[in-house]
Amino acid sequence: MSESDREARRLAWVYLSRVVEGPCAALSALIESVGVVEAARAVRECALPEVLRGPTELRRGIDRAEKDVAHIERLGGRVVTPDDAEWPAWRMLGLGQLDPAQDADAAVPLVLWVRGRRSLLEATERSIAVVGARCSTGYGNHATGEIAGELAARGWTVVSGAAFGIDGMAHRAALGVGGVTIAVLACGPDRPYPVQHDHLLAEIAEAGLVVTEYPPGTSVRKHYFLARNRLIAALADGVVVVEAGIRSGARNTVKWCRRLGRPAMAVPGPITSAASVGCHRMIREGEAFIVTRADDILDEAGPLRLSLPGAVPANPEDNLSGDEALVFAALPGAGARLPRALAADTGLPMAVLRATLSGLEIAGLVGCDGSGWYRTVSPSTSTAAIVADHDRHR
């Protein structure tokens, strides 16, 4: 792709991001079918199917993509599009495969507005979302500090929503141990929300990342929090809820997490505390696993571990069992296959398939590009070759 083509695509993504403000499954479908540049042209000219006229009507006349890019760069940030190397493509796969008829928000973000120096791809390689009540208790804050601090100290990125209470505590605990944390906002990257967390967000942007799909200048809206929650779930290997009232937004994040086939977890608390009622209910109703410490969380959400006591095995795939073995076997020796074909072959539900592919990818056994998933090792490859292969594909 030429540099000018690349730039045209980039501006098209950014333009569309401002037009729809948030996820839009119909627009994502159009982009997939005609390409992003053509989709942007169609939106501008209102040469659109009926379903896309409403969502684009209000702002399709606003074309300030170049200014938006300049604006985020002045803030020390950048816009990350699906064309960029740091786009966390495999994390987004699941979102694109949800049924948009069930939920209009079930779409891949068009772009991500990012503040912070780290690569988004690397920062989300091993990450856990820790979320919960705004009105947290001393107990909840303490529990969050213990859990998020331990996860961060062990090299896991802590993803949260920068809200008061549990969210803020989770970010602070990660920062406190020198770990990586990602704040996902429901407003533009230039809008500290809540405003009292202005300083905290600046710290997160310094040591980790502040991420949002809303363009600069966008204020929070109630609906945006729900769409934001799906992004928290998408960017993590699992979601842990520490304290949630009976009508907590955390339950919405858990719903997304489960739809994406990733483990949802909840921390128990005193039965006498209203702030733990939502957690207990989610555990009781089978919506979340009970977890009480970082070890429990990594047991549920951690990567497939190639446990290598002593010797390094010549064929790491020999250590695979169950779904991992099944999926690995269904991948071709050369070339790639699409998830739907793999699901059909293995008989696994898509959610399970995705989770399994993620595990295999983290273990360095498979990779993913535009043509689908492929093996990064062959049965006869030595471990040294795997590592090299693995690095090459990052």
Residues binding a copy of itself (CB under 8 A): 139, 142-143, 146, 267-272, 276-277, 280, 283-284, 289-293, 296
Q: Is the Cβ of residue 215 or residue 278 nearer to a copy of itself in the bound state?
A: 278
- Asked if residue 53 lies in contact with residue 46, where contact means CB atoms within 8 angstroms, the answer is yes
Nearest to 228 by CA among 208, 250, 209: 250
Q: Is the Cβ of residue 120 or residue 267 nearer to a copy of itself in the bound state?
A: 267
Residue 279 CB, nearest approach to a copy of itself (Å): 8
Q: Is the Cβ of residue 64 or residue 293 nearer to a copy of itself in the bound state?
A: 293
Peptide bond into 309 cis (omega under 30): no
Residue 260 CB, nearest approach to a copy of itself (Å): 22
Residue 284 CB, nearest approach to a copy of itself (Å): 5
Residue 321 CB, nearest approach to a copy of itself (Å): 21
Alpha-carbon distances, residue 265 vs 6, 130, 193, 239, 370 (angstroms): 41, 9, 26, 6, 32
Order across the sheet with 264-267: list the strands.
77-80, 112-115, 209-212, 181-184, 157-160, 127-132, 239-242, 264-267, 289-290
The one-letter amino acid code at 62 reads I
Greatest extent of the chain over all pairs of C-alpha atoms, in Å = 64
CA dist 197 and 39 (Å) reads 37
- Asked if residue 173 lies in contact with residue 140, where contact means CB atoms within 8 angstroms, the answer is no
- Asked if residue 269 lies in contact with residue 291, where contact means CB atoms within 8 angstroms, the answer is no
Tokens of 353: 């398939």
Q: Is the Cβ of residue 125 or residue 150 nearer to a copy of itself in the bound state?
A: 150
Q: Is the Cβ of residue 296 or residue 389 nearer to a copy of itself in the bound state?
A: 296
Q: Is the Cβ of residue 19 or residue 266 nearer to a copy of itself in the bound state?
A: 266
Residue 264 CB, nearest approach to a copy of itself (Å): 14
CA dist 204 and 180 (Å) reads 8
DSSP 274: G
Tokens of 45: 């000219």
- Asked if residue 263 lies in contact with residue 257, where contact means CB atoms within 8 angstroms, the answer is yes
Residue 189 CB, nearest approach to a copy of itself (Å): 34
Q: Is the Cβ of residue 188 or residue 238 nearer to a copy of itself in the bound state?
A: 238
Residue 322 CB, nearest approach to a copy of itself (Å): 19
Residue 150 CB, nearest approach to a copy of itself (Å): 12
| Residue 26, helix vs strand vs coil | helix
- Asked if residue 205 lies in contact with residue 76, where contact means CB atoms within 8 angstroms, the answer is yes
Q: Is the Cβ of residue 14 or residue 143 nearer to a copy of itself in the bound state?
A: 143
Q: Is the Cβ of residue 33 or residue 272 nearer to a copy of itself in the bound state?
A: 272
CA dist 301 and 165 (Å) reads 24
Residue 241 CB, nearest approach to a copy of itself (Å): 13
